[in-house]
Chain A
Amino acid sequence: AAGVIQSPRHLIKEKRETATLKCYPIPRHDTVYWYQQGPGQDPQFLISFYEKMQSDKGSIPDRFSAQQFSDYHSELNMSSLELGDSALYYCASSPGGVGEQYFGPGTRLTVT
């Protein structure tokens, strides 16, 4: 069965640089969620989209922005990167925003 695809899987950036993370949800899933998991922490919700509209927002820094495109894939844009942004970024998708969320393998971002 098709799963959530995230790219890239690993990303190394320097401070103050910009990063773009991509998420391709499971086919026919119209809801996408982004989570950030710092070292030794639980995943924290960043932002979600339903039918290409932002549906909820968590503790996402103003330096981050995201959108969902017409094919339902989503991109998380992160600017002016800081050392503290180093984390595992998960994308999850669900059908119609209900039920369980299926997670992608995550993108590990390292900021040096």
Chain B
Amino acid sequence: AQTVTQSQPEMSVQEAETVTLSCTYDTSESDYYLFWYKQPPSRQMILVIRQEAYKQQNATENRFSVNFQKAAKSFSLKISDSQLGDAAMYFCAYRSARNTDKLIFGTGTRLQVFP
């Protein structure tokens, strides 16, 4: 069975600085997707970034980028130029490439952003 581990329950960063959130996963599959979701106080689950396992190039979305290390089964999220609005719970999630497969979430990292 696949598992997702987020070892940082809480992180903090100063506004305009850079922060990296860690995620590791375990799977025997070779084809899968990895995601980072943001859950602000409104509790809306917002997709931040997506990575396909077959792609070697790390995904980027504006200030958000990932460091995907397939052999190490590591998938960290880097937030550059942090903003107050980035404060939220961040969940790392795994999904098999099989159609209709479910998301498996890590336990989340709460990010605080200080002015």
Q: Among B35, B101, B106, which residue has its beta carbon within 8 angstroms of that of A100?
A: B35
Q: Among A101, A105, A106, which residue has its beta carbon within 8 angstroms of that of B103?
A: A101
Q: Among B37, B46, B100, B108, which residue has its beta carbon within 8 angstroms of that of A97?
A: B100
User: How long is the Cα–Cα vector from A99 to B32 in the complex, in angstroms?
Assistant: 10
A58 touches B99 (CB 8 A): no
Chain B contacts for A101, CB-based, 8 A: 95, 103
Whether B73 sits at the interface, judged by CB under 8 Å, is no
Residues facing B in A34-75 (CB within 8 A) are 35, 41-45, 48, 50, 55-56, 58
Chain A contacts for B113, CB-based, 8 A: none
List the A residue with the shortest CB-CB distance to B35: A100
Whether A111 sits at the interface, judged by CB under 8 Å, is no
Query: With A88-B43, A100-B35, A105-B43 in contact, is A42–B101 under 8 Å at CB?
Result: no
Whether A96 sits at the interface, judged by CB under 8 Å, is yes
A33 touches B102 (CB 8 A): yes
Whether B78 sits at the interface, judged by CB under 8 Å, is no
B105 touches A102 (CB 8 A): no
Query: With A42-B108, A100-B35 in contact, is A50–B99 under 8 Å at CB?
Result: yes
User: How long is the Cα–Cα vector from A88 to B41 in the complex, in angstroms?
Assistant: 13
CB of A45, distance to nearest CB on chain B (Å): 4
B100 touches A43 (CB 8 A): no
Residues facing A in B39-76 (CB within 8 A) are 42-47, 50
Whether B107 sits at the interface, judged by CB under 8 Å, is yes
User: How long is the Cα–Cα vector from A45 to B91 in the complex, in angstroms?
Assistant: 14
CB of B95, distance to nearest CB on chain A (Å): 8
Q: Among A58, A88, A98, A102, which residue has its beta carbon within 8 angstroms of that of B102?
A: A58
Chain A contacts for B106, CB-based, 8 A: 42
A45 touches B43 (CB 8 A): no
Query: With A42-B91, A100-B50 in contact, is A56–B44 under 8 Å at CB?
Result: no
**Which of B's residues lie within 8 Å of A, judged by CB?**
33, 35, 37, 42-47, 50, 91, 95, 99-108
Apart from A43-B105, A50-B100, A101-B95, 7 more pairs, CB < 8 Å: A42-B106, A56-B100, A56-B102, A90-B45, A99-B33, A100-B47, A108-B43
